[in-house]
């Protein structure tokens, strides 16, 4: 991972490789994922994304906004992604907090733009954290531009890679312009991605407008996008971990396919914050044994596709 201002990532971290799936398991999950994408399909909210899918060889039902993607189209999209040759394991903070405990007063309140700057400054000082994810979304700025304000605050407060929470193509372009100012140009930003993007499908099997806008705009700009599923076993996905992995994989691959249909060779990252639902509270069980198993399996699936991965929730 690239850094700025003389700060170098911590080298030599090969990390723990936990193989929870056999080669046969990986093949089965991939095969079942292709069935889901071709037979069940994914709901796609935005008209432009529907057009891109239709032009790329998917079967589009515009009335129902359902997209069914033939298996060979999905596999061609995976093959078009820039391959990842592996590398050291790196770490980031989690995002995106909706409340903030003021470290000076102890007050629990809505986060401000200054809090995003403070969070980025803290990450900048922590040697074991390699990059900054948008820790909080500022609420003292217009909601439509909150991600841009958060990106600006972070870039002015850390020398490390800055992850954004852009939720529209417009925000992607503005955050990319900020990153280009730091990197020197948009071409330099592609080579040294000091600003990164990510988006989440909605489980089960839905690509909302904000997700497709981010995916499409990142592909057009030639900037990497992390497509990260947040399915919940027993809630928005099957109760079995294998079934959940199929739904998770289908959502991520649908986004990756859209990126490659937009611009062949677009850099993408395979993401997971998928876990099990805590049935007592109907909430995501973050940090649970199930999440650890799903995360390890998702990393294996990403390696099968030769894609970089982001695994959340440790």
Per-residue pLDDT of the chain (314 residues; tens, 9 = 90+): 333 444 444 444 566 678 999 999 999 999 999 999 999 999 999 999 999 999 999 999 999 999 999 999 999 999 999 999 888 899 999 988 999 999 999 999 999 999 999 999 999 999 999 999 999 999 999 999 999 999 999 999 999 999 999 999 999 999 999 999 999 999 999 999 999 999 999 999 999 999 999 999 999 999 999 999 999 999 999 999 999 999 999 999 999 999 999 999 999 999 999 999 998 998 999 889 999 999 999 999 999 999 999 999 76
Structural domain includes residue 257: yes
Structural domain includes residue 143: no
Structural domain includes residue 77: yes
Q: What distance in Å separates the CA atoms of residue 271 and residue 136, rounded to the nearest whole number?
A: 20
Burial (Cβ within 10 Å: 0-12, 13-18, ≥19) of residue 45: middle
Number of domains in the chain: 1
Q: What distance in Å separates the CA atoms of residue 115 and residue 99, rounded to the nearest whole number?
A: 11
pTM reported for the whole predicted model: 0.93
Structural domain includes residue 162: no
Structural domain includes residue 223: yes
User: Domain range holding 212?
Assistant: 23-82+198-311
Distances (CA, A) of 186 to 106, 131, 162, 199: 41, 20, 15, 21
Q: What distance in Å separates the CA atoms of residue 166 and residue 262, rounded to the nearest whole number?
A: 18
Structural domain includes residue 5: no
Structural domain includes residue 285: yes
Q: Is the dihedral of CA 66, 70, 71, 73 positive or negative?
A: negative
- Looking at residue 276, which CATH number applies to its domain? 3.20.20.480
Are 175 and 148 contacting, i.e. CB atoms less than 8 angstroms apart? yes
Residue 171, token pair as written in the block: 């925000």
CA atoms within 13 A on the CB side of 249: 33
Structural domain includes residue 152: no
Q: Whose structure tokens read 């062949």? A: 264
């Amino acid at each position: 991972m690239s850094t700025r201002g003389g700060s170098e990532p911590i080298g030599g971290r090969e990390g723990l490789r936990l193989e929870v799936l056999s080669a046969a398991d990986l093949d089965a999950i991939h095969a079942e994922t292709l069935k889901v994408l071709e037979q069940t399909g994914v709901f796609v909210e935005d008209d432009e994304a529907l057009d891109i899918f239709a032009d790329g060889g998917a079967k589009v039902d515009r009335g129902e906004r359902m997209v069914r993607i033939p298996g060979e189209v999905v596999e061609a999209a995976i093959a078009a992604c820039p391959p990842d040759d592996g590398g050291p394991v790196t770490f980031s903070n989690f995002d995106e907090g909706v409340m903030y405990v003021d470290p000076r007063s102890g007050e629990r309140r809505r986060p401000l733009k200054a809090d995003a700057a403070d969070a980025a400054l803290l990450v900048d000082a922590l040697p074991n954290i390699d990059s900054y994810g948008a820790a909080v979304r500022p609420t003292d700025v217009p909601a439509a531009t909150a991600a841009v304000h958060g990106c600006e605050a972070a870039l002015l407060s850390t020398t490390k890679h800055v992850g954004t929470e852009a939720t529209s193509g417009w925000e992607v372009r503005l955050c990319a312009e900020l990153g280009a100012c730091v990197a020197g140009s948009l071409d330099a930003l592609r080579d040294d991605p000091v600003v990164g993007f990510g988006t989440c499908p909605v489980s089960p099997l839905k690509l909302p407008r904000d997700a497709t806008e981010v995916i499409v705009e990142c592909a057009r700009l030639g900037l990497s996008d992390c497509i990260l599923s947040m399915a919940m076993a027993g809630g928005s996905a099957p109760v079995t971990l294998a079934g959940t992995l199929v739904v998770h994989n289908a959502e991520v691959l649908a986004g990756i396919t859209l990126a490659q249909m937009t611009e062949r060779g677009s850099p993408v990252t395979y993401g997971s914050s998928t876990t099990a639902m805590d049935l007592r509270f109907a909430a995501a069980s973050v940090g649970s044994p199930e999440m650890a198993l799903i995360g390890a399996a998702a990393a294996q699936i990403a390696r099968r596709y030769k894609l970089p991965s982001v695994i959340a929730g440790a």
